[in-house]
Amino acid sequence: MADLAALTLREARDLIAARELSATELTELTFRRIAETEPVVHAYVCLDEERAMARAAEIDQGGATGSLLGVPFGVKDILETGGLATEGGSRLLAGNVPERDAETVRRLRSAGAICIGKHVTHEFACGQDDLPTRNPFDLARYPGGSSAGGGVSVQVGSSLLALGTDAGGSVRKPACVTATVGMKATHGRVSGAGTIPQASSFSLDHVGTFTRTVEDAAIALNVLAGYDPRDPRSIDVAVPSYTDGVGDGISGLRIGVAPATFRADDMQPEVVSLFEAALSTLEAAGAELATVELPSFEHALAALFTIFPAEVSPTHRRWLSERPGEYHERTRRLLLLGTLIPSEHVSQASRVRALLRDEAARVFANARLDALVTPTLPCVPPRFDEMVPGDFGSLIPFTGPWNLTGQPALSVPCGLTPDGLPVGLQVVGRPFDEATVFRIGAAYEAEACVESRAPFPSPS
Amino acid sequence: MVHRMAKPKSSFDASDVVRLGELAGISLAAEDAEALAGALAGHCDMVAPLFEFRLEDAPVATIYDPHWRG
3-state SS, one letter per residue, for A247-309: CCCCCCCEEEECCCCCCHHHCCHHHHHHHHHHHHHHHHCCCEEEECCCHHHHHHHHHHHHHHH
Q: Is residue A1 part of a domain?
A: no
Q: Is residue A453 part of a domain?
A: no
User: CA torsion angle for B46, A184, A91, A45 (degrees, to 10)?
Assistant: -140
Q: Which residue from A minimizes the CA distance to B19?
A: A340
Which residues are CB-neighbours of A50 under 8 A, at least 6 positions away?
none
Q: Is residue B53 part of a domain?
A: yes
Burial class (CB in 10 A: 0-12, 13-18, 19+), A258: buried
Q: What is the mean pLDDT of chain B?
A: 77
Q: Are A214 and A441 in contact (CB under 8 A)?
A: yes
**Residue B33 belongs to domain spanning:** 14-57
Average pLDDT for A154-166: 97
Q: Are A291 and A255 in contact (CB under 8 A)?
A: no
pLDDT of residue B6: 46
When divided into structural domains, chain B yields a total of 1
Q: Is A147 helix (H, G, I), strand (E, B) or coil?
A: coil
CB contact under 8 Å between B8 and A344, yes or no, is yes
CB contact under 8 Å between A337 and B40, yes or no, is yes
**Integer Cα distance of A318 and A283 in angstroms:** 54
> Residue A149 above 80 pLDDT?
yes
CB contact under 8 Å between B47 and A302, yes or no, is yes
When divided into structural domains, chain A yields a total of 1
Tell me which residues of A are annotated as active site.
76, 146, 170
Distance from the Cα of A144 to chain B's closest Cα (Å) equals 24
Q: Residue A169's pLDDT band (boundaries 50, 70, 90)?
A: very high
Tens digits of per-residue pLDDT, A302-334? 999 999 999 999 999 999 999 999 999 999 999
Distance from the Cα of A300 to chain B's closest Cα (Å) equals 9
Tens digits of per-residue pLDDT, A333-348? 999 999 999 999 999 9
Would you give the distance in Å from CA A457 to the centre of its chain? 23
> Residue A223 above 90 pLDDT?
yes
Task: Compute chain B's Rg from CA coordinates.
Answer: 18
Q: Is residue A459 part of a domain?
A: no
* CATH number of the domain enclosing A322: 3.90.1300.10
Q: Is residue A402 part of a domain?
A: yes
Tens digits of per-residue pLDDT, A17-64? 999 999 999 999 999 999 999 999 999 999 999 999 999 999 999 988
Ramachandran region of residue A207, left (φ > 0), alpha (ψ -120 to 50) or beta?
beta
CB contact under 8 Å between B17 and A344, yes or no, is no
pLDDT of residue A60: 96
Tens digits of per-residue pLDDT, A76-134? 999 999 999 999 999 999 999 999 999 999 999 999 999 999 999 999 999 999 999 99
Measured between CB atoms, which of A321, A349, A354 is closest to B60?
Answer: A354
DSSP A381: P
Residues from chain A that touch B40, judged by Cβ atoms under 8 A, are 337, 340-341
Chain A touched by B16 (CB under 8 Å): no
Q: Which residue from B minimizes the CA distance to A236?
A: B67
DSSP A367: T
Distance from the Cα of A342 to chain B's closest Cα (Å) equals 9
Q: Is residue B2 part of a domain?
A: no
The CB density around residue B22, as the number of other CB atoms within 10 Å, is 11
pLDDT of residue B5: 44
Q: What is the mean pLDDT of chain A?
A: 95
Q: Residue A388's pLDDT band (boundaries 50, 70, 90)?
A: confident
Tens digits of per-residue pLDDT, A170-198? 999 999 999 999 999 999 999 999 999 99
Q: Is residue A455 part of a domain?
A: no
**Residue A147 belongs to domain spanning:** 9-448
> Residue B1 above 70 pLDDT?
no
Average pLDDT for A275-302: 97
CB contact under 8 Å between B59 and A342, yes or no, is no
- Region of poorest pLDDT, from A118-127, A262-271, A290-299, A381-390: A381-390
**Integer Cα distance of A223 and A219 in angstroms:** 7
Q: Is residue A159 part of a domain?
A: yes
Tens digits of per-residue pLDDT, A408-451? 999 999 999 999 999 999 999 999 999 999 999 999 999 999 98
Residues from chain B that touch A355, judged by Cβ atoms under 8 A, are 53, 57-59
Q: Is residue B9 part of a domain?
A: no
ipTM of predicted assembly, 2 dp: 0.87
Residue from A328, A342, A402 nearest A372 by CA: A402
Q: Which residue from A minimizes the CA distance to B61?
A: A354
Q: What percent of chain A has pLDDT over 90?
A: 92
Query: What type of residue sits at position A216?
Result: D
Q: Residue A293's pLDDT band (boundaries 50, 70, 90)?
A: very high
Average pLDDT for B40-53: 90
pLDDT of residue A96: 98
Q: Is residue A72 part of a domain?
A: yes
Q: Is residue A243 part of a domain?
A: yes
Q: Is residue B36 part of a domain?
A: yes
Distance from the Cα of B52 to chain A's closest Cα (Å) equals 10
CB contact under 8 Å between A354 and B47, yes or no, is no
> Residue A457 above 80 pLDDT?
no
Q: Is residue B67 part of a domain?
A: no
> Which B-chain residues 32-61 have CB contacts (< 8 A) with chain A?
32, 35-36, 39-40, 43-44, 46-47, 49-51, 53, 55, 57-61
The CB density around residue B66, as the number of other CB atoms within 10 Å, is 8
Q: Is residue B42 part of a domain?
A: yes
CB contact under 8 Å between B50 and A341, yes or no, is no
Higher pLDDT, A16 or A200: A16
